[in-house]
A and B are shown apart, each in its own frame.
Chain A
Amino acid sequence: MSADTQSHEHHIVPVRTYFATLIALMVLMGLTVGVYFIDLPGLGGFLTGTVVNQTVALIIAIIKALLVIMIFMGVKWSTPLTKLWVAAGFVTFSLMFFILVDYGTRREYEPVPAWDKAGESATPRGFPPGSQSVPSNNINLRPRG
């Protein structure tokens, strides 16, 4: 909190740094569109070509995001507290994706396959689980039990 550790002169970034960042962002955008039209080979197992393509697209997006955060938003030249705050925010965001692990363990039930036909996916309230006595009126009810 003490001002003693910080510079009294605010860092003014030259316009050419910002312009170079803009050009880099444009090039990366062109690259991500280019990759879309190429079907990259899979690496075996769950790493199918689709996963590889998507991973490449996301890595490019993350590089673009880092350029915007570091240069345009000036986090690179900000105080340690600001850096900690920003990092904590994005770490919390990525932690949220661990919820997907939970969905993986109960795929049959959630998210509720409400768009499918009622008879195939849902046991209406009041019916025992797995009951076939479902009115075929296409009304979807949440599975119970």
Chain B
Amino acid sequence: MAAITHTSDHSHDDHHGPLHHQFESIEQQNESYIVGMWTFLVTEVMFFGALFLTYTLYRAMYQHDFFVAHEHLSIPMGAFNTIVLLISSFTMVLAVHFAQLKRARAVIANLWLTIALAGVFLVVKYFEYTSKFADNLYPGPSFTANKAVFEHNGHVPEIDLNHAQIFYGLYFGMTGLHAVHIIVGILVLAALARMWMKGNRLVTEDFVPTELVGLYWHFVDLVWIFLFPLMYLMPKPH
């Protein structure tokens, strides 16, 4: 990023940022940026995809145990976090929209709003994880030997604790990896907001860097759109 130099001799309309010398036109430059970002996102899709594949395989094998284990998760908390992430995607898209219109104050406000919503998501996640730790549901040698933690509607269901442990391995692995992406997103969004506040021409003259951060943030939302129904809303075997 730092190596990019601005050329002043190329003509460009004031809607777009400066055209860098290696590109023929602003369209080609923008397309290169977007395709490059999508290349990264596709590797992320495959990264999470392998975990979704693992989930599918074990879910098919241990349908009943996964269902019983998943009932310990809180649907209200999961649904609340889904709403928070969807709204954060909306504020992110507004930031990109205002970046196109070069309204810096609106961009900065929406970026900070997105960061705040990401923070809310992590706080809810913290409470969810804490309640799982309290019941020794973290996979490993200390995984619960007590079936009573899966009590639901007044009775303790039949469950194989080893299979429940696989479910919680996937739960912590997938939501944990997703949470890492949220944390990285917060850092990137904060760096972008700081550039806007300092009036750095790299972002104020060209909306595409803001759009690229937006693509990453929407991807994080995209993963959660699948994690929420698969982890929290597992249909009852019937």
Residues of A within 8 A of B (CB): 1, 3, 6, 8-10, 12-13, 15, 18-19, 21-22, 25-26, 29, 32-33, 35-36, 39, 42, 48-50, 53-54, 57-58, 60-61, 64-65, 68-69, 71-74, 78-79, 81-82, 85-86, 88-90, 92-93, 96-97, 99-100, 103, 111, 115-116
Contact = CB atoms under 8 A, between A and B. Distances in A.
Contact of A65 (B83, B86, B214, B226): B226
B37 to A, nearest CB: 9
B225 A68 contact: yes
Binding site of B, secondary structure by majority: helix, strand, loop or mixed? helix
B63 A29 contact: no
A45 B41 CA distance: 38
A9 B218 CA distance: 24
B230 to A, nearest CB: 8
A115 B166 contact: yes
Given A61-B226, A79-B31, A49 B238 contact: yes
B46 A29 contact: no
Contacts of A26: 83, 86
A58 B13 CA distance: 44
A89 B13 CA distance: 33
A89 B45 contact: yes
Interface of B: 13, 15-16, 24-28, 30-31, 34-35, 38-39, 41-42, 45-46, 49-50, 53, 56-58, 60-61, 63, 75, 79, 82-83, 86-87, 89-90, 92-94, 97, 100-101, 160, 162-163, 165-166, 211, 214-215, 218-219, 221-222, 225-226, 228-229, 233-238
B31 A96 contact: no
A82 B31 contact: yes
Contact of B235 (A50, A73, A116): A50
Given A57-B235, A79-B31, A100-B57, A32 B46 contact: no
23 contacts: A3-B26, A8-B27, A10-B16, A18-B93, A18-B94, A32-B233, A39-B236, A50-B235, A57-B233, A61-B226, A74-B211, A79-B34, A82-B35, A85-B35, A85-B38, A85-B42, A89-B41, A89-B45, A96-B46, A99-B53, A111-B57, A115-B162, A115-B166
A107 to B, nearest CB: 8
A58 B225 CA distance: 10
Contacts of A86: 38, 42
B235 A19 contact: no
Nearest to B219: A73
Contact of B28 (A3, A36, A116): A3
Contacts of B86: 22, 25-26, 29
Given A6-B27, A79-B31, A82-B31, A33 B233 contact: yes
